[in-house]
């Protein structure tokens, strides 16, 4: 497991933690976060961390809005690419149904293979 290997080299993983701000400080970063599971933000504990490097792993729906806020602020990360938030993808999870007139085939067995079809210059299925 790659996380186990990273933890052995000093990585700290903070579950149930929402990063609300990141700013450069002294050759590293200061990360402000809310810890806890409460949906009420003020009930969660505010923490500030300092790190030489920061890895964002909140997924596309959690990380992109944060990066957009950070890019727009001179106190955040204004050097972030203007492409942040463009061409956003999820993990392309697909729920697909298949029917066949051939009753002798067990369609639930074997390898499932998917592909992408470009329907036009802006869209993919």
pLDDT at 91: 63
Instruction: Say which residues have a Cβ less than 8 Å from residue 55's Cβ, sequence separation at least 6.
Output: 11
Name the least confident of 4-8, 19-23, 91-95, 97-101. 91-95
Q: Which two tokens stand for residue 101?
A: 């007139």
Q: How far apart are CA 75 and CA 28, in angstroms?
A: 14
pTM: 0.66
Please check whether residue 44 lies inside any domain of the structure.
yes
Please check whether residue 87 lies inside any domain of the structure.
no
Domain that residue 11 falls in: 2-72
Please check whether residue 102 lies inside any domain of the structure.
no
Answer whether 72's CB lies under 8 Å from 19's CB.
no
Element (H, E) at 64: helix 59-72
Residue appearing with tokens 């300092």: 50
Q: How far apart are CA 52 and CA 12, in angstroms?
A: 12
Q: Which two tokens stand for residue 25?
A: 């400080």
Please check whether residue 79 lies inside any domain of the structure.
no
Answer whether 28's CB lies under 8 Å from 51's CB.
yes
Please check whether residue 92 lies inside any domain of the structure.
no
Domain count, the chain: 1
Q: Is 47 helix (H, G, I), strand (E, B) or coil?
A: strand
pLDDT digits over 4-24, tens only? 898 999 888 888 999 999 999
């Amino acid at each position: 497991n790659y996380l186990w290997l990273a933890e052995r080299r000093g990585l700290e993983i903070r579950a149930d933690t929402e990063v609300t701000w990141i700013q450069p400080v002294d050759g590293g970063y200061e990360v402000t976060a809310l810890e806890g599971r409460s949906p009420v933000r003020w009930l969660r504990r505010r923490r500030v961390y300092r790190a030489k490097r920061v890895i964002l792993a909140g997924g596309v729906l959690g990380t992109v809005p944060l990066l957009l806020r950070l890019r727009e602020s001179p106190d955040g990360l204004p050097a972030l690419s203007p492409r942040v938030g463009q061409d956003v993808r999820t993990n392309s999870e697909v729920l697909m149904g298949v029917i066949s007139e051939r009753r002798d085939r067990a369609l639930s067995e074997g390898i499932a293979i998917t592909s992408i079809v470009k329907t036009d210059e802006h869209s993919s299925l």
